[in-house]
Amino acid sequence: MEVNVIILLVVSGIVVGIINTLAGGGSVISMSLFMAMGLPIGVANGTNRIAVVMQNLSASLTFLRKRMLDVRSGLKLSVPAVAGNIIGSMVALEVSETIFRICLGAVLSVILIYMIFDNHKKHIHGGHRLSIRWWHYLWFFAIGFYGGYIYIGLGYVILAVTIWSMHLDIITANVIKGFVIFVSTPFALAVFMINGQVDYAVGLLHGAGNVIGAVLASHFAIGWGVKFVRVFTLVVVVVCFADLVGFISLHDMICAMI
């Protein structure tokens, strides 16, 4: 592996770690990078899980130290997510681009509409035990299935559910998002590993950058405040939506860099 490719993997990992910790959608960059490097989409999908686990572990530990994470609530939501994750990864080891675009487009639309118009509701802040209803377990089973099958855009799915149905503020929603993804993703990763669809060198190098980005983002998230994270999330969602509908091409940009 050439030095410039190693640098690109680490630096892009830092960017992805920041984006995923504060918002979501960074895996669009990761997947585009991996495929531009010549990895088949199935291997790119599996390899991406290494960075996902490393990044969300780092972010969760930082949020835990800052008392922003209620582990008991996170574990309750993670159990159905793990079950869904295993089933989703076993159902399809290859991603259907059509299904991906439909799902991601719907999720991005929900996030955009909700965050633009929901400015006056009271939200639950981090560190407190969450009020979890029976339908939340169904939601997180579906979330786990989506994460095991596609993963890209999973962060937005969790943000949509936690902000809309649990009334969490954007920072707390990101805390829960990171913890649930950290707990559930290793099971999907194991399925990809068993099926030989993981490039460990690429995944670990990119994951190292993800860790740096996740630590930076989670460390400063509280200081930056809910308003900044909200605006940051909106900007990232708009960029991802523009890429989805063809106004820009993140894949072409990354290919040009390589």
Q: Quick: pLDDT tens for 15-58.
A: 899 888 877 778 878 888 898 888 887 888 889 999 999 999 99
Range of the domain at 13: 3-257
Mean pLDDT of the chain: 82
108 has a pLDDT exceeding 80? no
Specify the pLDDT at position 106: 76
In angstroms, the Cα distances linking 16 to 84, 114, 115, 116, 169 are 25, 24, 22, 24, 22
- Alpha carbon distance 57, 75 (integer Å): 14
Mean pLDDT of 120-138: 69
Give the percent of the chain with pLDDT over 90: 24
In total, how many domains does the chain have?
Answer: 1
Specify the pLDDT at position 1: 75
> 121 pLDDT band (50/70/90 cuts)?
low
CA 83, 85, 88, 91: dihedral to nearest 10 degrees? -70
Specify the pLDDT at position 219: 76
Specify the pLDDT at position 124: 47
Higher-confidence position of 169 and 95: 169
Specify the pLDDT at position 132: 84
Specify the pLDDT at position 57: 93
59 has a pLDDT exceeding 70? yes
Higher-confidence position of 102 and 209: 209
Lowest-confidence segment of 37-46, 209-218, 219-228, 230-239 by average pLDDT: 219-228
Question: pTM for the full model?
Answer: 0.78
Mean pLDDT of 150-176: 81
Specify the pLDDT at position 128: 58
Mean pLDDT of 57-68: 87
Helix count (H) and strand count (E) of the chain?
A: 10, 0
Q: Hey, is 131 helix, strand or coil? A: coil
Nearest to residue 182, comparing CAs of 17, 3, 4? 17
Q: How many residues belong to the chain?
A: 258
Higher-confidence position of 95 and 212: 212
Higher-confidence position of 201 and 160: 201
Specify the pLDDT at position 113: 75
Higher-confidence position of 235 and 229: 235
Specify the pLDDT at position 161: 85
